[in-house]
Structure 1
Amino acid sequence: MSRIFKLAAYFLLASSACLAQVKSPATNPANAASGHTFRYTNPITRDTSISMRDHFIIKVGNKWYCTGTSNPVWTGYNPGVRMLESDDLIHWKQDAWLIDASKLPADCPYNGRFWAPEIHLIKKKFWLTVNSGKVTREDPKGMKSHSIWLFVADQVTGPYKLVNGPLTPQYNNDATLFEDEDGQTYLYCSGNGLFQAKIDLQNGKLIGTVQKFLDKRQPGYPEWMVGGIEGPFVVKRDGYYFMFFSTWTRGYEVGLLKSKSPLGPWVLASPEPIFGCRKKGFRPELAIEGGYADLKFQDSEDPYCETGHNALFEGPDGKLWSSCHYLMYEKRPYPYSQVLQPWEKTTQMGIEPVTYKDGVFGIKGPTWTEQVIEY
């Protein structure tokens, strides 16, 4: 059987399986008892005007709010920290700019690219971490001063007030916060590896110094990390601390670490990534530059080249869900067209339910057909 016919058969079987799983609310006993069905198809957003990377979602009351890295991502200025809102996790609109770069003073030290903002509700306050630097003629990307800035607000929608920054004396990025059961808060971030520290939120200062605890080429760790690791996010379950992180070595995948302590030592909870997509033809220049172009792996059969930098949030069923950016692959397999629509050329929001079994978290997908969640 030719490759085209094999792929066609695969997609027909996948579609049939998906349809077979969709049950009518009237005929499904479990659904009749609960009366709730949530349907979604990734990518959730399909709009170039609200395209972002690194989607972070937080539920407050009956609404979901989302921040992320706005375009342009890689060069020069971007417009600031955008907030989206939704009543149903499906339809999203822009609520406001939490930080509007056009309104910042000329000497503002964080006027750069505003990468991967997150909002955490801790001690009845909303804490916003923003990763940015100062864009100048000498440093047009703002990378020399790129670090972490901490803001606080009484409401999720702001206004946010600067607490302190930069929080670290070196390049750091992708900051996240975690409050433990004893009230101590921890800061985790990336920057040519993964870093950690205790933090005094009220003063916006680290307790001690930020410590690097994992390198992309850490001895004894797998080769799927060697391209780079970033985007930490921490939760606690059954006495263990779990850290989700992303790597772009083979496309964009999510790995999982675990520890008995919030400051480690951290070990891989799964020998392979728990989520993501792999495409040999995606960004080959990075593989050549990084010295891992001969890495052997099979492409994943999804239509994406990026599904990563995830964060967790409360989903429609009250359980943990994962959010991250999804990017379509121009060399995606049949029956997808090789001609991308305008929105398909930009990163869009994707969501998936999170599982927990035998002491390890997992994330379903990445999916691209309609999914039905009954609860």
Structure 2
Amino acid sequence: MWAPDIQLVAGKCYLYYSVSTFGSQRSVIGLAVNATLNRSDPAYRWEDRGLVVESFPDKNDYNAIDPMLLVDAGRGYLVWGSYWTGIKGTEIDLKTGKPESSQPKAIPIASRSATAPTSIEGAYIVKRDGMYYLFVSWDFCCAREHSTYKVMVRRSKFPLGPYLDDGGRQMTDGGGTLVLMSDTRWRGPGHNSLLTTEDGEWLVYHVVDARAPDRGRILQLRPIGWRDGWPVVGNALGVKKLKASPPPSVVAAGVTSSTVETDTTSSSSRPAR
């Protein structure tokens, strides 16, 4: 089980999750719902609503993992996909959190070109100034310091596309505009989301530190801004070791305090907004 996506829908927390095995196409996306994320609230209880979308090797050309829900103007759109023929999407009923069936009409949204690897996954959509931006990850995530993951983006006037890159090439034809790729130290950034806080917007993703690859994939943030209608990112936040102090309710649940890597410094340069 991996790659969850959580969204607030009509006052409830919708948590979509993936169930599969690594490299398999026999996969399912499920949904769990909660009234709150506060574990000390008496209303805190996850209700598993079960199957949303599934894929079969002999039936589907997609892989039903990496879900993401977009809620826009009272309508819901679920996107998913990893490898095979890429990213798909469908409209869902927000009351149930599901499409009409577990084998919905899967609209092609993004794929690699015929001559490129099929490695595309981790879709995330954000709406800004009337345009929809679809972020995806290309290439390979899980080879430690040799990871080649990178973040790409395209935009559209409509939630389910067509999505075009900054050169006008369709996302279903392998088009894409680069947002973030490996540098000397930080290897394979990808499977991103966007976080909005009082301090601005942030690109959130996992990455491998080439200086400490045994740590595996770690969480990293960069400030993200917008220039000429396209996202640009700043430097990664600095890292400092702090002693974590979980609230009593978390400790009581079996999570103990430990030394963690926490980003505390701002980027040395902020992108244009």
**TM-score between both structures, scaled by the size of structure 1:** 0.52
Task: Determine if contact 1:245/1:254 at 8 Å carries over to the other structure.
Answer: yes
From the CA coordinates, give the structure whose radius of gyration is larger.
1
Check conservation: 1:243, 1:256, Cα contact below 8 A: yes
* Structure 2 CA distance for aligned equivalents of residues 365 and 189 of structure 1: 29
The correspondence for 1:276, drawn from 177, 181, 192, is 181
Answer yes or no: is 1:165 the counterpart of 2:43.
no
Q: How many residue pairs get matched? A: 215
Whether 1:253 and 2:150 are equivalent positions in the alignment is: yes
Report the counterpart of residue 207 of structure 2 in structure 1.
326
* In structure 1, distance between residues paired with 2:224 and 2:134: 14
Kindly report which structure 2 residues correspond to 1:136-147, keeping only aligned pairs within 5 A, or say none: 143=24, 145-147=26-28
Q: Extract unaligned runs of 5+ from structure 1.
A: 1-113, 136-140, 278-299, 330-335
Instruction: Read off the aligned partner of 1:151 and give its amino acid letter.
Output: A
Which structure exhibits the higher relative contact order, with contacts defined as CA atoms closer than 8 Å and separated by 6 or more residues? 1
* 1:334-353 paired onto structure 2 within 5 Å: 340=212, 344-353=214-223
Give the Å deviation of 1:368: 5.7
Contact 2:66/2:121, CA 8 A, preserved across alignment: yes
CA–CA distance in 1 between the matches of 2:118 and 2:236? Answer: 21
The answer on 1:266 being equivalent to 2:159 is no
> Aligned residue for 2:227?
357
Q: How does 1:80-95 map to 2 (within 5 A)?
A: none
Letter in 2 for 1:274: V
Q: Is the 8 A contact 2:14 2:97 kept in 1?
A: no
SS in 2 for 1:195: strand
Among 111, 114, 118, the alignment partner of 2:5 is 118
CA shift in 2, pair 1:268/1:373, >3 Å: same
User: Counterpart of 1:128 in structure 2: which amino acid?
Assistant: L
Distance of 2:114 and 2:7 partners within structure 1: 30
Larger CA deviation: 170-179 vs 150-159:
150-159
Shift of 1:273: 1.1
- 2:134 is aligned with 1:243: yes
Deviation at 1:360, TM superposition (A): 0.7
**Identity among equivalent pairs (%):** 24
Cα displacement string for residues 49-96 of structure 1 (whole angstroms, at most 9, x for unaligned residues): xxxxxxxxxxxxxxxxxxxxxxxxxxxxxxxxxxxxxxxxxxxxxxxx
Question: Is 1:228 aligned with 2:112?
Answer: no
Contact conserved, 1:232 with 1:243, CA < 8 A, in 2?
Answer: yes
Q: In the alignment, is residue 175 of structure 1 matched against residue 73 of structure 2?
A: no
- Cα RMSD, aligned residues only: 2.8
Higher strand share: 2
Of 202, 212, 222 in structure 1, the residue corresponding to residue 108 of structure 2 is 212
Question: Paired residue for 2:77?
Answer: 186
User: Can you give the 5+ residue segments of structure 2 that lack an aligned partner in the other structure?
Assistant: 39-43, 57-62, 141-146, 168-175, 240-264
Instruction: Give the C-alpha shift of residue 303 in structure 1.
Output: 0.5
Match of 1:129 in 2: 16
Runs of 4+ more than 4 Å apart: 366-370, 372-375
Question: How many Å separate the matches in 2 of 1:206 and 1:360?
Answer: 31
Contact between 1:178 and 1:186, CA under 8 Å: does it hold in 2? yes
Q: TM-score, normalised by structure 2?
A: 0.69
Paired AA for residue 226 in structure 2: Y
CA–CA distance in 2 between the matches of 1:129 and 1:216?
25
